[in-house]
Chains A and B, each alone.
Chain A
Amino acid sequence: MAKHTLIAYVEDVPGVLNRVASLFRRRNFNIDSLTVGRTEQAGVSRITVVVDSTEAGARIVEANLYKLVNVLRVDDLTRKPSLFRELGLVKVKVTPQTRAEVLQLTDVFRARVVDVDEVSLVIEVTGTPEKIGKFEMVLRPYGIVEIVRTGAVAMARGHETLSSNPPLVHVTGGKAEHHDTSGLAMSV
């Protein structure tokens, strides 16, 4: 199992997010994070889905995404040189004794303080999902009041254009170990 990041370009029509999300549930995949937003092209939205899956599972998801009528293009960025970014807001407790330490950590993570009161700080941090995870970890001892994360967005590096055709499912290597159908024939 590994994290796979899939980008789906979809027609911006009502219900399309539901169709995409529903597909993951229907085919028994767990969504790690999902973000959606506009693109440079009018009428086209971009959905970034991170899913915990085997390689074979990722291929199943990709092929099934292509089957949705409103999906224009799918790209798996997992193995491509890509940029991954997420934004987090962390509300952390501070005392006069810990405030300086927290501010120092904020600096180390190149995060910024966006709200201050006498007992807490709200810090905005961007970076890879791992970096935000780490930031959360180092702040935990001080007492995290609340945390919100946007989920990852991703973009391939360089100027390479993305494939506009579904992969002709890889036929060699790898077993389709995502689903276990061995007990299937047990029903009338």
Chain B
Amino acid sequence: MKLTGAEIIWECLQREGVDVVFGYPGGAILPTYDAMTKYPKIHHVLVRHEQGATHMADGYARASGKVGVAIATSGPGATNMVTGIATAMMDSSPIVCITGQVGSKAIGTDAFQETDVTGVTLPVTKHNYLVTKPGDIARAIREAFYIAKSGRPGPVLVDITKDAQQLTAEFDWEGAAPRLPGYRPSYHAPDSEFARAAELINSAKRPLILAGQGIIKSGTTAEVLKLAKTAGIPITTTLLGIGAIPASSELNLGMMGMHGEAWVNQAIQQADLLIALGMRFDDRVTGNLKTYAVNAKKIHVDIDPTEINKNVQVDVALIGDLREVLAVIQPQIKKADHAEWWSAIAVNRGDSAVRDIKNLPDSGHLYAAHVINDIWRLTQKRDTIVVTDVGQHQMWEAQYFHHDKPRSLITSGGLGTMGFALPAAIGAKFACPDKDVWVVVGDGGFQMTSCELATAEQEGIKVNVAIINNAFLGMVRQWQEFFYDKRYAATPMTGPDFVKLAEAYRLTGLRCNQRPDVKATVAKTLADKKTVVIDFVVEKEDTVFPMVPAGADLDKMIRRPKQDVLLESGSDKDWEMPSSTLPNVFVEKKAEAKALNDRRKPSPPGKRRTPAKA
């Protein structure tokens, strides 16, 4: 069958099972858009910015486990995708990006809208292709899908010249099967390693499972729970591992790391065995590596050999797919309950409940933690996916929204991409039209990609956008509060009237600025058929606790203040910096900054800290 290159692209997408693509047209991809009209089974979502297309593909992939597809034109279209591709790369999300390229004869001439897209994206893709002949398109796309979803998933880009889209070639689907002699998606650890791992697990007194996103990727929630139950092992999750283990399971202690629960980080430091399942010991997870879990032996299960011994030296590495590894190891595990260990952890929990803002009565102030916890309580009976952006609200969501299902939290962890949430949520909604999709986003991040509200409107889909509006780039302000003597340089931030903005997009806008109104606001949001944008006007200078100061030992955290947190913007909170635990580099940096600062004339007191009007 002779087809144009453009038609071959769509034929391949159809055969790969693609039902929706997110894209934006332009000259170099126009032949493909023209051919699209012949393939009505694939729905095209017109985005408002190509970054949005990649985040949508990413959100679609994370919600469904399938490959998400984004399309853009050459030059600026393709470079706009870079942030979304890097985001997908860091969090191992399977997406395929198709970009148009100038005609093959024009490559290298700085032709109109020519960019070396395979060059630009080389370090942020799992693999990429430049295709200059129509006959090569099918194989490139088939390989792209295969590479994107197999092994450790990731983004693959296929850059196709305009002439390759226009010219015809024989379309041979079978003949275009992937031929990748050098590609090794998975490995099988030797039996001896399994035996050593089982021995360590069976002899441990204080074992702890570190549950990562690999569990979600491999769909092994049940298997991990079985292992933990058999051997009485407590579980803690990474940010991206949230949902892999139900929050309601008594085996689940909560999140680890920089903003993880204090008792979890203490447990990590006290454990004699860490069993890392599909997590990569990110620096937000380990704190100071030199003092990280020095008492523990470590077993690392990961599909990617380059993750082993990258940050943390381990004793046993089981390189391979988590599903296979768990199947081999489970029968070798002896029953245990580790009652002593569990009660030690319970002691660590100690007074944490009274420090928890969640348990404080309504003080007339609206705290983000309350908003998020209330949304969770009010939507518990529904099937909900939450997509968060990056910042304080992201951490409060992780702490106060309790996820019981895999793929119910979608967030940019590794790259921490502001502007991710709204477009990723739109993608997630396309993957799971029957679920509620909530966006929890800061006033800063929302303004980065709020143009995608128009996409939601045009597509007639409903996502519920909860803007946690603190009139600050809150997370950065928090660092300034802790580490830069409250010099709020470039963090106070204004925004539009978000209610009017929503209305301008012909969507519903709501505002909520006190706790008793949260319930009605959520109810109204759920009842509305359209996308709803809620402006939750929260406390301006609220702080995410606990926090491991950058580079400090994992269990030396800035705890939540003990007394009621009654903030007015600008007021001091009574948190204590565990100064003795700060790494030297930080102390030096602070001294340096102070010296610099003291040379300057002090600005009038109070002035520089006044945040901008909401």
Mark A residues whose CB is within 8 Å of B.
Answer: 10-11, 14-15, 18-19, 22, 26, 56, 59-60, 63-64, 66-73, 165-166, 168-172, 175-176, 179, 181-188
Contact = CB atoms under 8 A, between A and B. Distances in A.
B404 interface: no
B62 interface: no
11 contacts: A18-B119, A66-B184, A67-B305, A69-B147, A71-B182, A168-B190, A171-B314, A171-B317, A181-B289, A182-B290, A185-B258
A185 B122 contact: no
Contact of A56 (B182, B309, B586): B309
A22 B583 contact: no
Interface size class of B (residues with CB under 8 A): 35 or more
Contacts of B119: 18
Nearest to A74: B182
B204 interface: no
Contacts of A172: 315
A22 B42 CA distance: 36
Contact of A182 (B310, B475, B479, B551): B551
Interface in B97-126: 118-119, 122-123, 126
A184 B283 contact: yes
Contacts of A183: 551, 585
A187 B283 CA distance: 11
A185 B315 contact: no
Interface string B276-313: 00000001100111100000000000001110111101
A181 B311 contact: yes
B527 interface: no
**Which residue among B189, B283, B288, B548 has the maximum number of chain A CB atoms within 10 Å of its CB?**
B283
A66 B314 contact: no
A32 to B, nearest CB: 22
Nearest to A187: B550
A22 B123 contact: yes
A18 B122 contact: yes
B583 A182 contact: yes
Interface in B163-196: 180-184, 187, 189-190, 193
Contact of A19 (B122, B475, B476, B479): B122
B130 interface: yes
Given A168-B193, A175-B313, A186-B586, 7 more contacts: A60-B306, A68-B182, A171-B309, A176-B309, A182-B585, A186-B551, A188-B475
B127 interface: yes
Nearest to A173: B313
B287 A185 contact: yes
Contacts of A187: 550
A170 B2 CA distance: 51
A63 B118 CA distance: 23
Interface in B512-550: 548, 550
Given A168-B187, A182-B290, A184-B283, A22 B122 contact: yes
B146 to A, nearest CB: 10
Contacts of B314: 171
B319 interface: yes
B182 A70 contact: yes
Closest A-B pairs by Cβ, 4 of them? A184-B283, A185-B550, A72-B182, A63-B306
Interface in B529-575: 548, 550-551
Given A15-B130, A168-B317, A169-B305, A182 B289 contact: yes
A176 B304 contact: no
A60 B187 contact: no
B297 to A, nearest CB: 11
A107 to B, nearest CB: 46
B550 A171 contact: no
**Which residue among A72, A169, A172, A185 has the maximum number of chain B CB atoms within 10 Å of its CB?**
A185
B308 A185 contact: no
A171 B316 contact: yes
A69 B180 contact: yes
A59 B313 CA distance: 13
A170 B193 CA distance: 12
Contacts of A169: 305, 308-309, 317, 319
Contacts of B287: 185
Interface in B457-509: 475-476, 479
Contacts of A15: 118, 130
Contacts of A18: 119, 122
Contacts of A11: 181-182
A59 B193 CA distance: 19
B472 to A, nearest CB: 13
Contact of A26 (B123, B305, B548, B583): B123
B265 to A, nearest CB: 13
B129 to A, nearest CB: 9
Contacts of A176: 309-311, 313
Contacts of B551: 182-186
Contact of B284 (A67, A166, A185): A185
B393 to A, nearest CB: 14
Contacts of B308: 63, 169, 171
**Which residue among A18, A165, A169 has the maximum number of chain B CB atoms within 10 Å of its CB?**
A169
